[in-house]
Each structure stands twice: as structure tokens, then as C-alpha cells.
Chain A
């Protein structure tokens, strides 16, 4: 499978990355080279093989149902959470207007 300019523009839009015309033009052959190369996976016989879900056997743990069991990751951290925000206002993340 290969991608054309319109497809790459669509992917970039899905990925929320603005690409200039030049970037888009350069990306098309690069992505096609990579996609052409990974095509070879199609020749592997995978009948009866399950896709990998966990590389090392492990089980999912449940933590105790306790509030702030770990103070580091518990609540009451509003200011720390906002500390690196580019536009924190009144204790919230500021964003451009989304409702007209």
C-alpha cells in the first residue's frame, strides 16, 4: 500500500500536526519508503498466532480503595498540576474559546 499527498494530509490532520506544503511533499516519499519496507511482514505465516499483548507475563493489580493512599499521586495537587501550564487561569487550564 502506498500513500498519496491527500492521505498524508489526512493523517497529519488526525494526528493534529500542521504540515507546510514542503513538509507534506517531503513526507510522502519518506512514508512510502517505510511502508513499502514493512510490507514484508505480510509474507509471515501467522495463522493460529495470537497478537502479543504482554511481553513478560504479569498480572494487573488492583490498589486498595483508599483516598490519597500515595500522597504523591493523590489529590489536593491543583497548583502542582497547573504549575507548567502555558496558560493557567483561576485554577483552571486556559484554552481558546470553544463555544461560540
Chain B
């Protein structure tokens, strides 16, 4: 029999349901992988093997009684540390929330537990989801399980902000993990580690109980080994929640049952503005491969234009920090988390000392940018202008979807880069999300699927962007690519 930790979500769910193995056996196998790998990869901030076993026992007991084990029955998963988990430390990888044990469970994680999933632990990430390399975590860098051929043992970034999630899935520490995407935080790490991840339409997954970064952009989604696994897990995560005022009051489609790689009659748009000067040759090649595969699947390829593409990233770096500066005002040393109270400090001193000690450099940088662009005299020049540009970006997509059904583009401008490569240059780091941010700004569903390996033997991802509410179209195109890319590579085990 195949090792249990080589199985994905669908295989585990089906194997548990048919009695090929028990949920407890699966949980034990993944618990062992987590314990053996975490010193080297640092993917988990907290491991919760007992939670995984407890959930698995419940699923096995249900099955023994002849009850349905659930959509995710017997599947142990990793939970990004941005989701509030009752009684289990939830930090958003920050010092300011170190030791915080929520009194409640986030809607998305609760839905997963209700569907029969179990928790292997809380996954490392960029602090408050601000970063693209998982180097801003208070709990240390996550190391990408992939290594460049001939690159020695240099540690590579697993992408970010969901870097613990991507590393853990790629290294077989969990068959799937939750991620969140504000400006590429599911797709870029998925691409860097050769896995699949989808950010659904804004509002599909409840934000209730997810530590807020930029509320008009934040959206949860699954990260797993293939398209089907993502479809299954997204069904379990999505759904209307009255506790989130931006939650979509719509039924959750049967994404898994309706998966189809047949692209006949579908038009795939290739945005000419994504072709940038000096683009990495391997990225260009994988994009061309994607076009060939989708054409082979029956799709018609059309050139489209998204004229405001180059303005999406600068607009994002006004809007996201602005929202972050408001959202993170809640960390004041009074209600939860860290308190720094220097001798003789008054209340204002305490706020400033607490936030100084509790936030990392990137978080401070973004709060300051956000505070500045929202301040009197600058608000219109920066924030209002950025929100107008955001309207134009949204119009661009609306016009494009009159001419095509889905859009194909690279996920990131490069393969995984080395840890430390960009950490001294915030702007260079931001530019890594150039292809991912436009879809976030328009609230559209977007996915990354593995396309192949580059010249250094590192995975590359292709991105599919769909119209609002058309996760099915995105997943189907992803499946068509997946079937033709035949991506079976996995990182050689060194940890």
C-alpha cells in the first residue's frame, strides 16, 4: 500500500469511507511527519497531534455507526495561524498576540471540523499576513522543502504569506491546509512549492474569526496537492455567514461533482499587459505551455487587454496598508495580547511601547504608510485616488470577461528565491506580487496550479483568474492544465 502521507484529500476521504484504512491511522502518519520535519522546515508554530487524533476518532466512530463521515471525513489538515481556534494559540505569527488563546472558533475552521477534518497544528506565516516570503514571522522563517539543483543547501523562501501552509503541503506534513489571500498570499506560495491553491470570490468564505489585515481584500481558501482536493476543501470552507457583513448569501456550488477538464466552447484570455520587459524565460515558456494545454483541451485562445494592470500594485500598497493601519489599531495592550508598561508610563506611553515591542518591522512599515495616506491633507491624493484606480482595474476585468471566460497568466514573476534575497528591500519584495494583486483588487476567484519545473528544478505555477462567482470555471481550467502538465515532481527529502 502507498504510504498514507502520500495521499491527497479525496483519496483519504474515500479510503476512510470505504474502510481501506482508519482516520486514526492517517492522523498518526501525518502527526509523525510533522514531528519529524518541524525543526528543519519550521512550518508549524504549534503542533496539535491530540486534536488530529481526537477528530479522527470521532470520524472512525461515525463510520462504525454507519453514519456519513463528512466532506472532509478523516482528513487531517494544517490551519494557518490567522484563523482563531478555540483554546489553541492564535498569533498571526506576531509577538503582540503571543499566548493569545481565542475563546471562540473562526467560521471557516469550524466548518472544516464539522465536515470531519482534524487539526494537525497552526501554521507559520508572514506576520499579520504581510509578506511574500515568510520572513516576517516572529517565529522564524519557514524553509521551502524544495532546493535548487546545484544550488547547494541554500534555503529557499516558501512564498508568503501562507508559507507554512505551502511548505507543509509540499513536504507531505499535511494533505491540505488553509490559506488566506489578500494580494497573492495563497497563489504565490502555492506556485513556489509546486502545489495548488485557490482564492475564491471575495465573500465566499466568512472572514469571521480570521485575524484582519485588509478587510476589503482578505479571503480564505484551500491549499492542497491538486485541483480536486481544492474543490472538496473549498466546498467545506465556503458558505453564508451572518456574522460577516460581506459574506455572500449564496448557495455553495457542487464544485467537485461538476469538475470537467473539457474546455470546448470556452475562451481563454491572455492579457497582453502581463507580458513584461525582461520576463524570466522559464516563466514565458510555462505560460506558453499553458496556452498549448488549454487549446488542446478545446479552448479558444483570445488576446485581451487589462490596461490598468501596472497600477494595481501601487494602488494595493496604499489600500492594504490603509486598511491594516485601522484594523491593527485594536492591538493596544488592554484587551488581549502583549502589554509593555515601562516604569511611570501613562496610557498613551503604554500603547506606544506595546505596539513598538509587539509588531515586527514590516508591520510597522505598513501601519505607518497606512496612517500617512489616511492623514488629513493626504487622504484624497493617496487613498481616494487609489480607490478610483481600483474601480478602473475592476472595469478592466469586467470588459475582459465580455470577451473571455477565464484568464491565464503566470502566478509569480520567478520561481522561489533564496531566503534573505529580498528581505532588505521592501519594494523588491512587493513586486513579487505583480501578477497576483490585480485579481485581489477586483475580488475575483483566482488559482495557481503547478505547470512544471524551471532550469533549476524548481516548480512554477500558472494562474487562472475567473469572473466573480465562477470558481467552477477556474477549477475546470486548472484541471485541464493539471491533466496535461503531468506535474508529479516533489521535493527530495532532506529534512
A: which residues have CB within 8 A of B?
1, 3, 7-8, 11-19, 23, 27, 30-31, 33-35, 37-38, 40-42, 44, 46, 49-56, 58, 60-61, 63, 70, 72-73, 77, 80-81, 83-87, 93, 95-98
Chain B residues closer than 8 Å to A35, beta-carbon distance? 369, 372
Chain B residue nearest in CB terms to A42: B385
**In the complex, are the beta carbons of B359 and A17 less than 8 A apart?**
yes
Q: When A11-B371, A11-B375, A96-B345 are in contact, do A58 and B248 touch as well, CB less than 8 Å?
A: yes
B302 interface residue (CB < 8 Å to A): no
Q: In the complex, what's the smallest C-beta–C-beta distance from B343 to chain A, in angstroms?
A: 11
**30 A-B interface contacts by CB (under 8 A):** A1-B378, A11-B368, A13-B352, A15-B367, A15-B368, A17-B352, A17-B368, A18-B353, A18-B355, A31-B368, A34-B369, A38-B314, A38-B386, A40-B314, A41-B311, A41-B385, A49-B388, A51-B390, A52-B387, A52-B391, A54-B216, A56-B443, A60-B245, A73-B243, A86-B339, A95-B334, A96-B347, A96-B349, A98-B346, A98-B347
**In the complex, are the beta carbons of A51 and B384 less than 8 A apart?**
yes
Q: When A11-B371, A18-B355, A85-B334 are in contact, do A56 and B314 touch as well, CB less than 8 Å?
A: no
Count of interface residues, chain B, beta-carbon cutoff 8 Å: 74
**In the complex, are the beta carbons of B346 and A84 less than 8 A apart?**
no
Interface 0/1 of B232-265, CB less than 8 Å to A: 0000000000110110110000000000000000
B20 interface residue (CB < 8 Å to A): no
Chain B residues closer than 8 Å to A60, beta-carbon distance? 245
B: which residues have CB within 8 A of A?
100-104, 201-203, 216-217, 242-243, 245-246, 248-249, 308, 310-311, 314-315, 317-318, 325, 329, 332-339, 341, 345-353, 355-356, 359, 364-365, 367-369, 371-372, 375, 378, 381-382, 384-392, 394, 426-427, 430, 441-443, 468
**In the complex, are the beta carbons of B442 and A55 less than 8 A apart?**
yes
B386 partner, pick from A12, A41, A86, beta carbons under 8 A: A41
Chain A residues closer than 8 Å to B347, beta-carbon distance? 95-96, 98
**The 9 residue pairs across chains A and B that have the minimum distance between CB atoms:** A55-B443, A51-B387, A86-B339, A84-B336, A18-B356, A46-B388, A18-B352, A52-B390, A80-B103
